[in-house]
């Protein structure tokens, strides 16, 4: 039995391996704390780098979107221009088609005018009878359906744009240049005159308009017309 020295507590015996393991654990813990302390300041720098990458990506996407919008606007303007050109082409073709049709109809009816003149003279002389009358009326009806209109009547004012004066005279019965005789009727298609009316015209008698004015002046000088 071992004797214990009074006043001193005897420490238990610790194996050498246990002491080595404990020292290793303490060193590892210290190293981990140091690594965490060193890594902690790197956090904000990493966030800034990520933010810059996101901003660069957004700018690139915005630029690409602007380019796409610009290209879309250009294609839209090209399409609108093509549509306008096509509409103008259609209107021009339609206008030309109508013009060609009117010219063709006018040329055809112009060739028929002598025949219509003969029909009119035959009607004036009472010779439009029987089968000839039916044919003549059918021809006049077809010409009217094609747009042919006759004009020129006695008593209407003379218009040099639609009348051709072949005879000239003076008359006290007119107050302006008037068609007093229709030698050949005129014809038009719509607003287009294909033949002017050939007429005889009469103008007011020279001095006929001055006589009433002179008489009125004499009445005023005499104190008015006599009464009673």
Beta bridge partners, 187, equal: 150, 195
Which fold would CATH assign to domain 149-214?
Nucleotide Exchange Factor Grpe; Chain A, domain 2 (2.30.22)
- The pTM assigned to this predicted structure is 0.53
Indicate if the pLDDT at residue 85 is higher than 50: yes
CA angle 215, 218, 222 (to 5 degrees): 140
| DSSP run (H or E) holding 128 | none
Q: Which of 92-96, 139-143, 147-151, 206-210 has the lowest mean pLDDT?
A: 206-210
Q: State the average pLDDT for the chain.
A: 78
Virtual CA dihedral for 203, 205, 209, 212, nearest 10 degrees?
-150
Tokens of 138: 């059918």
Q: What is the reported pLDDT for 113?
A: 94
pLDDT at 135 over 80: yes
| Cα distances (Å, whole numbers) of residue 141 to 5, 61, 103, 138 | 159, 75, 20, 5
Listed by start position, the domains of the chain span 64-146, 149-214
Mean pLDDT over 108-120 rounds to 93
CA 3 from chain centre, in angstroms, equals 126
């Amino acid at each position: 039995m071992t004797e214990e020295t009074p006043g001193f507590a005897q420490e238990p015996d610790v194996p050498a391996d246990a002491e080595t393991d404990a020292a290793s654990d303490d060193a590892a813990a210290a190293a981990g704390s140091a690594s965490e302390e060193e890594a902690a300041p790197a956090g904000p720098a990493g966030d800034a780098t990520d933010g810059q990458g996101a901003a660069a990506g957004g700018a690139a996407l915005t630029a690409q979107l602007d380019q796409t919008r610009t290209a879309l606007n250009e294609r839209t303007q090209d399409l609108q221009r093509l549509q306008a050109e096509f509409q103008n082409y259609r209107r021009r073709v339609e206008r030309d088609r109508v013009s060609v049709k009117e010219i063709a109809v006018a040329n055809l009816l112009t060739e028929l005018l002598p025949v219509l003149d003969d029909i009119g003279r035959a009607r004036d002389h009472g010779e439009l009878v029987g089968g000839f009358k039916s044919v003549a009326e059918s021809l006049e009806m077809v010409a009217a359906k094609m747009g042919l209109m006759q004009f020129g009547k006695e008593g209407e004012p003379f218009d040099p744009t639609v009348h051709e004066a072949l005879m000239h005279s003076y008359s006290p019965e007119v107050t302006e240049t008037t068609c007093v005789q229709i030698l050949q009727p005129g014809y038009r298609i719509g607003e287009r005159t294909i033949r002017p009316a050939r007429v005889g015209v009469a103008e007011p008698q020279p001095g006929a308009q001055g006589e009433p004015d002179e008489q009125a002046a004499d009445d005023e000088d005499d104190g008015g017309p006599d009464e009673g």
